[in-house]
Structure formats: C-alpha cells, structure tokens
Chain A
Amino acid sequence: MKIHGKLLSHYLSCCSPVDKEGYLYKKSERTGSYQKRWFVLKGNLLFYQECRSDGSPLGVIVLEGCSIELCESDELFAFSVGFGGHGCGTYRLAAKDQPSQESWIKALLSASHGFLSMLVSDLERRYHEVVSETCGSAFCQQAVDGKGFTPFLASQNYRPSAPTGGQSCHMSQLLQVPPTSRRNTSKISPKLWTKRTIDDRAVNEPAAAEVRDEASGGPPSLEDFCMLHELYGKEVKDLIALRQIMERKDEKDVKDEQATGSG
C-alpha cells in the first residue's frame, strides 16, 4: 500500500501546531534494544526520527484504535502502544522519568481522531443549547459580534422612518455577507464561491470549506452556518416587509395630509 509519505512529511513540517515533542526510547523489533528517538506528536500521528535536528522522519505511527498501557517490566517508565487488529503489533516506548511518562501517555490517549470527533460533537451540541438558552430566538449578538459578523442585532432596534441614505446603508449592511466568511472563502477557488446558490449552501459554506492551516478564530460547523444563514435570511425578509409596510403608511400619511391640506 502506498502511504504517500510526502503528504505526511508535509503535515509534520507545516504550520499546524505540534501537540507534543521530545526524546523517548523506542524498542527495536529487530534487536530488542531500546534506541533513543526524537518523537513529534501532531494530530493523530506520532512521528519519530533519529534526533531533533533531522530533516525528515524515520517513521510514523497512526494512532487510531490503539491502547496505551504501562509496562515497566523490561524498562523503567516504559509504556506500550498496542493495536488490536489482526497481525498488528505493539510499540514499546520508554520515557526518561515518571512525569515525562505520564505526560506522554496523557497526550497519546487524547490524540485519536475518534476522540476529537466525539469531543467536537459534544461541544457543538452544548454550544447550540447555550445559544438558544441565552438568546431565546437562537441568535446571539455576543456570539456573532465577537467573530466579526455585522452587528445584526442592531436591527432589533430598528425604528421605522422615511427612507434615508442612512437607512439604506443599514439595510445594505444587513444584506452583506459576514466578513468572517469572506476571509475564509479567500482560501477557496473562485469557481466554488461564484457557484454559490441557496441550494448549494451545504457545500459552499465558507467556514467549513476552509482547509488551510491558518488562523481564523475557528469556524463554526456547516450546520451552524446554515442555521445562522437561515436566521439572517428570515430576519432580513421580516425587516424588508416591515419597511415596506412603513413606506406604504408614510405614503398614505402624506396623501392624507395633502387631501386635508387642500380642503
């Protein structure tokens, strides 16, 4: 099977954060002796190389479905990374002291993709709960203001008045795409962005489509964005309808005045 090692090396050396690194001893399967290696944990991948200054890794261990156990029988501060599948082996590692051993075990235990996926689902659910508790209308000014969205809730204080330059400016603000999403979509091919339609909302959500490792303040999930998009849309429609009502009312008032004034 081809592992496409270049992609792995690239991930190791690119700008995403290193979760843990340091020297550990690794038991050689061939000789049975422990060899000192520089380990780098990034995401669910544990890379190792001969020493810290090496350019490229000797190897990588994909940390999915593994169990971590203490095993100090043959070496002090040792632990094993074991895989349960058919024909799968066990990596034996050893740290230099107890705090290092504990720290590595803890880091490796929380490294799997499955674990992170579970955490994200849980926190996403709680985020939605908190948002609806906080705001009632499931829309929180604080939550979105902090992320650079237009201060949409200013519209909740909308006061009907004759159309003015200021007001139309306000409406165009409401109809703008939130700046955060623009920042994210700059990473996407223009083709993808211009094909955006209401139906294609699911694929074109800029927050979710950002795949570059660059700071963004953390995009919400596609579901979050869909929900906010719908709320924006509904609020805008409501406001446009309200404005139309007020305009008609103003027109009627003016006509009434003219009728009574001329009499």
Chain B
Amino acid sequence: MRFNERELVSLSRQPSERAAELGMRGPRKGDVVKKRLVKLVVNFLFYFRTDEEEPLGALLLEGCRVEREDEQAFSIAFLDEAERKYLFECDSKEQCVEWIESIVKASYEFMRKSLIFYRSEIQRMTGKDPLEQYGISDEARFQISSISSIQGT
C-alpha cells in the first residue's frame, strides 16, 4: 500500500502526547524484547531505535485491544487476533497505567464516540446543538446515527 511516508515521518517528529523508552516485543513467535523509543502521535504509535531520527515503524491504533499484562507491562492486540500481541514493558506501574490510558484515548473512534456522547447530552439538557457554532452540525462523522449504524454488527 502506498502512503505518504515523508508526511508520516514528519508527523513522528512532532510533539507527542506521550514518548518514552520502553521494552517492546513484537507479535511473532521468537520475537524478543528490545529497547525502543515509543512515541504516541495522534492515533499512531511510532517506534524508533534509540537515537535514530526516522521511526522503524508506525502502528495505527484503531480497533485494537489494550490490556494490562502485569504490574508494569501492557499489550496491544491488533486485527482481532488476540495471539498477535505487541508487548510493552514500562519502568513503573504508574507509567504503565498512563500509557494504557493515553493509547485508549488516542483512538479516533474513541474520540468520535466521546464527541457524539457529549453532543447528544448537551443537546438533551440544553436544547441546543453545541456543534452549530462550528458550522459542522451536518457533518456525517458527528451524527448519532453513525454509532447506531454499527449496532448489531
């Protein structure tokens, strides 16, 4: 798949929500834990070899499952394959908790649902649509129906 690599590398250099050196282990059998600079930017998790400018890779954080593995480690499973997990080892329990929270909240789909929730609650309680002032009330992406359309799937 083609992608705008230069833009993505440029994105990886921008100020991030969270960045730290963590132990990272890939999903394949035989993968070992390696020290990586892990950086959360928008809904991508970039990982670098320490002191390298260009990331080794970028993981899209949508539709993934984040789990606490033990006191100081968490995992991210992609593609509905619970056995294909990336493991991340943190330096402390607090750091682990903070990473999990940040990754969950970074997902575009999580944010969309939050927005729709707040929008509908504010509308219900005040009678006013809070998105009107932005001129985006009609945008398909912010409609309550966009959530109900995926019920039952």
Residues of chain A having any CB pair with chain B under 8 Å:
1-11, 14-17, 19-20, 43-45, 56-62, 64-66, 83, 85-89, 91, 106-107, 110-114, 116-117, 119-120, 122-124, 126-127, 130-131, 134, 140, 142-143, 146, 187-189, 191-192, 195, 200, 202-203, 208-222
Chain B residue contacts of A217, Cβ below 8 A = 117, 147
Chain A residue contacts of B57, Cβ below 8 A = 1-4
Q: How far is the CA of A215 from the CA of B144 in the complex (A)?
A: 10
Q: Please, which residue of chain B has its CB at the minimum distance from the CB of A65?
A: B11
Q: How far is the CA of A143 from the CA of B118 in the complex (A)?
A: 10
> Smallest CB–CB gap between B144 and chain A, Å?
8
Chain B residue contacts of A10, Cβ below 8 A = 63, 78-79
Contact B67 A86 (CB under 8 A): no
Chain B residue contacts of A122, Cβ below 8 A = 130
A1 in complex: contacting residue of B14, B55, B104, CB < 8 Å? B55
Chain B residue contacts of A3, Cβ below 8 A = 1, 3, 5, 8, 57-58
Contact A116 B115 (CB under 8 A): yes
Contact A17 B11 (CB under 8 A): no
In this complex, which of B10, B79, B118 has the most chain A Cβ atoms within 10 angstroms of its Cβ? B118
Contact B149 A17 (CB under 8 A): yes
Contact B59 A130 (CB under 8 A): no
Contact A218 B113 (CB under 8 A): yes
Chain A residue contacts of B139, Cβ below 8 A = 19, 106-107, 110
> Smallest CB–CB gap between B82 and chain A, Å?
9
Contact B125 A140 (CB under 8 A): yes
Q: Please, which residue of chain B has its CB at the minimum distance from the CB of A56?
A: B1
Q: How far is the CA of A224 from the CA of B77 in the complex (A)?
A: 26
B54 within 8 A of A: yes
11 intermolecular pairs with C-beta atoms under 8 Å apart: A1-B54, A10-B78, A16-B150, A43-B108, A86-B10, A88-B6, A89-B4, A116-B111, A123-B130, A215-B148, A218-B116
Chain A residue contacts of B35, Cβ below 8 A = none
B109 in complex: contacting residue of A8, A64, A142, A213, CB < 8 Å? A213
B7 in complex: contacting residue of A43, A62, A124, A203, CB < 8 Å? A62
Q: How far is the CA of A134 from the CA of B7 in the complex (A)?
A: 45
Chain B residue contacts of A14, Cβ below 8 A = 62-63
Q: Please, which residue of chain A has its CB at the minimum distance from the CB of B9?
A: A1
Chain B residue contacts of A131, Cβ below 8 A = 125
**Given A3-B1, A209-B104, A123:B115 Cβ within 8 A:** yes
Contact B150 A214 (CB under 8 A): yes
Contact A130 B4 (CB under 8 A): no
B122 within 8 A of A: yes
Contact B65 A211 (CB under 8 A): yes
Contact A2 B114 (CB under 8 A): no
Q: How far is the CA of A59 from the CA of B7 in the complex (A)?
A: 14
B119 within 8 A of A: yes
Contact A218 B147 (CB under 8 A): yes
A11 in complex: contacting residue of B9, B63, B122, CB < 8 Å? B63
B37 within 8 A of A: no
What does the 1/0 interface line of B86-118 toward A look like (CB < 8 Å)?
000000000011001100110111111111111
